[in-house]
Chain A
Amino acid sequence: MIDADKLEILTESAKYDVSCSSSGSRRTNKAGGLGNASVGGICHSFTPDGRCISLLKILMSNDCIYDCEYCPNRRSADVRRASLTPDEICELVINFYRRNYIEGLFLSSAVFGNPDKTMELMTETVSKLRRVYNFNGYIHMKGIPHADGALVMKAAKLADRMSYNVELPSEKSLKLLAPQKTKESLLLPMKSLNNAIEYDKQNNVRRGKVLPAGQTTQMIIGASPECDGQILKLTEALYRNMHLKRVYYSSYIPVVQSSKLPANGAGLLREHRLYQADWLIRFYGFDVNEICGEDENLSPDYDPKCAWALRNMHLFPVEINTAPLEMLLRVPGIGAKSAYRITEARKFSKLDFDNLAKMRIVLKRARHFITCKGKFCGTDSLAQVKTSLLISGSGEINEQLTMFSEPSTALSALTGEI
């Protein structure tokens, strides 16, 4: 059985990776097998930092030959080192899964020996899980830069999701802070995985699909000087060109002393605003240009949708009973669920403010931007609208204040749902 200290070292090394979701894959249990994957994703526990535990997230090894400036496991760091064998990992996954502790495995690793050897051992682990232990639960694998393309493809046939982390928002910063990783070593494998996924899609491949839950990536925010506009442009390109399922942002935490790195961590508020903007791009049909100029940062005072609405007051108010869904989604205070409820309910009868209140649609912010049967209940004074957007954001402001007073002790919602 795995040694408890090793588990501790390899968990602590992996925990700053933020992509924990287990959703997006529907893997059915094969005869004689253990487990399946649930499309909606399942959280199995929550840690005191408010994050969900869905997958067993560990490194295969933290014994790294690379020297990324920001990483506690880099070669030149003086930390406890540990590695696991494929069998140790398999045994742990199976036993945790049977007890319903986890939804599956998130396997990452430092580069030990060389990239090929690392990728090979990771793939061997996953292959054993699937073939020897008959495990049909969820598996997310980290891609190792510079590893052989054929090995990566082999891994992609076994895992539900893979991620190559772009790490930093520009090539310049990557060169400075992660000198052994190159833009190509991250983007090229991402591209060939995308090609393989697209091939399966176009040819209607049903069984043995490559990465049924797609690819994600992650970048560190605030370790380098790029502004939000640049970060969001890159995000948009990754969604459009690589068809990523998610881009994760990880606000920089100074765990390492270095002259190349800022002394302070990036605020969680910034991370939160980026997730909100990301949400608008993915679900609400916004273009980055509408949200944030290329060399601008997002407003700390308003969430990006409110900020957009304030710049576009001439488009409001909109009539709740006739506005198209795309426009409802742009009303501050109306989220996807509320917009859905409105579009369904108004098919049967015209809605007034009373109906909206009964349907538990929060009107505090929205009332300045809508009419119901032609009636307007907001205020015409822009100054008043602004203050109401500032202070009425369903608890968001309280959260922001805690963020400002103790920047290191608050947590932003990972999703950015507005």
Chain B
Amino acid sequence: MKIFITDGSPEAFFTAVFDAFAEKECIVTSDENVQLAFDSQVIRTVYDEEKCERVRKGIARYDKDAEDDVLFVLRSCDPLKEQIAFEYIKKLMKSKTAVKKMLSLPEVIEFNDILYKVTGEAHRLKGLLRFMESRDNVLYAPYSPDNDITDILMRHFASRLKNERFVIHDVKRKIAGMYNGHEWIMNYVGEAEVYLSEYERAFENLWKKYYLAVNIEERPHEKQMKRSMPVRYWKFLPEKNQKT
């Protein structure tokens, strides 16, 4: 069986879809540690502009939203994301019509599951991301999301905090989005050194105070809180690190 290994970029993925399309059974992945069977034949896919474009155009012919959906799915932390996106594209091309709403097809169910996880986490973090103000008035938000969603958040905050300068830093993937008040770019950033503004701690403390005061103590429901705000996100939330 052929195994197409990509470098994780969408371009290489679309190229691999082109090469893999005619195969009866094959694997598309960016996972270097993929389990190999006896008869596996490893093919390293390198980006090919023409193949990539043909796949993208082919997809768009039947469903103009499908490419965006695939791009979302490719940000997932699920090791099967490429395979699931590939099966989805195959189904789309063979059906010659949008399959997004054929909600009883297994390919569509699996694809939508991943899609909702990615968009769901992005939505959740639009709320849970926390900025701190640096001495030179740049807002800095470190975080560690499950999925690679920094550029989705950049778009949201660039329109919300239009006149601010800010950085959103995915410390796990060591990448950061940076906005200078006009436009934003993505970059590799390992560790960042941030000097906090004079007022930062004071506002953080007011926020912690508010968090404690607004809670209705007579009605604890920790389970509900943890369901809505999973513990893995707490590390970057001042209100969940109450020691001052």
Mark A residues whose CB is within 8 Å of B.
1-2, 4, 7-8, 11-12, 14-16, 28-29, 32-36, 38, 40, 42-54, 56-57, 92, 95-96, 98-101, 103, 253, 268, 341, 344-345, 347-349, 351, 355, 358-359, 408-411
Contacts and interface: CB of A to CB of B under 8 A. Distances in A.
Given A11-B213, A45-B127, A348-B104, A92 B161 contact: no
A344 B214 CA distance: 42
Contacts of A92: 206
Contacts of A51: 215-216
B160 A36 contact: yes
Interface stretch (B56-64, B182-190, B224-232): B224-232
Given A15-B215, A45-B237, A98-B131, 18 more contacts: A15-B213, A34-B162, A42-B123, A42-B126, A45-B229, A49-B216, A49-B220, A53-B211, A96-B203, A99-B139, A100-B129, A100-B157, A101-B207, A253-B218, A268-B219, A345-B103, A347-B101, A349-B102
Given A47-B211, A98-B131, A35 B225 contact: no
Given A51-B216, A98-B133, A408-B219, A341 B159 contact: no
Contacts of B102: 344-345, 348-349
A12 B141 CA distance: 29
A278 B165 CA distance: 44
B104 A49 contact: no
A7 B209 contact: yes
A286 to B, nearest CB: 26
A165 B69 CA distance: 43
A360 to B, nearest CB: 8
15 contacts: A7-B209, A11-B210, A12-B214, A15-B216, A29-B159, A34-B162, A44-B127, A45-B211, A46-B225, A48-B217, A53-B211, A56-B210, A99-B203, A99-B204, A359-B104
B207 A99 contact: yes
Contacts of A408: 218-219
A44 B218 contact: no
B163 A409 contact: no
A366 to B, nearest CB: 16
B2 interface: no
Contact of A33 (B104, B162, B219): B162
B213 A12 contact: yes
Contacts of B128: 44-45
Contacts of B101: 344-345, 347-348
Interface of B: 101-104, 106, 109, 123, 126-133, 139, 141, 157, 159-164, 199, 202-207, 209-211, 213-225, 228-229, 237, 239
A40 B214 CA distance: 23
Nearest to B240: A45
A344 B99 CA distance: 11
Contacts of A341: 103
B104 A100 contact: no
A51 B210 CA distance: 14
A2 B127 contact: no
Nearest to B113: A360
B139 A98 contact: yes
Given A8-B213, A101-B207, A50 B225 contact: yes
A99 B219 contact: no
Contacts of B215: 15, 47-49, 51
A101 B130 contact: yes
B99 to A, nearest CB: 9
A157 to B, nearest CB: 23
Nearest to B157: A100
Contacts of B106: 358
B214 A47 contact: yes
B228 to A, nearest CB: 5
Contact of A8 (B131, B199, B209): B209
A255 B127 CA distance: 32
B160 A29 contact: yes
Contacts of B104: 345, 348-349, 351, 355, 358-359
Given A44-B127, A45-B239, A99 B220 contact: no
A359 B239 contact: no
Contacts of B221: 48-50, 410-411
Contacts of A100: 127, 129-131, 141, 157
A28 to B, nearest CB: 8
A50 B210 contact: no
Shortest Cβ-Cβ A-B pairs, 4 listed: A50-B224, A50-B221, A11-B213, A345-B103
A345 B222 CA distance: 37
Contacts of A52: 228
A7 B206 contact: yes
A99 B130 contact: yes
